[in-house]
Amino acid sequence: MEILSQFVVVAVMAICLCVGYVIKNSIPAIPNKYIPLIMAVLGVVLNIWINDWVFTPDILLGGLASGLASTGAFELIRNIANKDKGDQNG
């Protein structure tokens, strides 16, 4: 896990997080099960773009890790928010 954290590009992860949020909440035609796949592909494209359209295995791994990390970050934020709502009601 520590090795993958070296490849996460914060800018790519943040963009994917925002795009994933918009897809989840605004486009009901896209099932939730496809959002990680979309974020992984978007992460790769964004990472290639950030690196002046150069494609290497490191850039591929960085894009995939960043896109998928955005999905994990969304779930983490959602779970924390739901936990806080449960504490206030109980």
Task: Give pLDDT tens digits for 47-64.
Answer: 999 999 999 999 999 999
For 10, residues 6+ apart whose C-beta sits below 8 A from its C-beta are: 66
Tell me the domain boundaries of the chain: 9-89
Q: What is the mean pLDDT of the chain?
A: 90
pLDDT at 1: 64
User: Average pLDDT for residues 9-34, to the nearest whole number?
Assistant: 95
Asked whether residue 90 carries a pLDDT value surpassing 60, the answer given is no
Helices and strands: H and E segment counts in the chain: 4, 0
Residue 4 in tokens:
């993958």
| Sign of the dihedral through C-alpha 23, 28, 34, 38 | negative
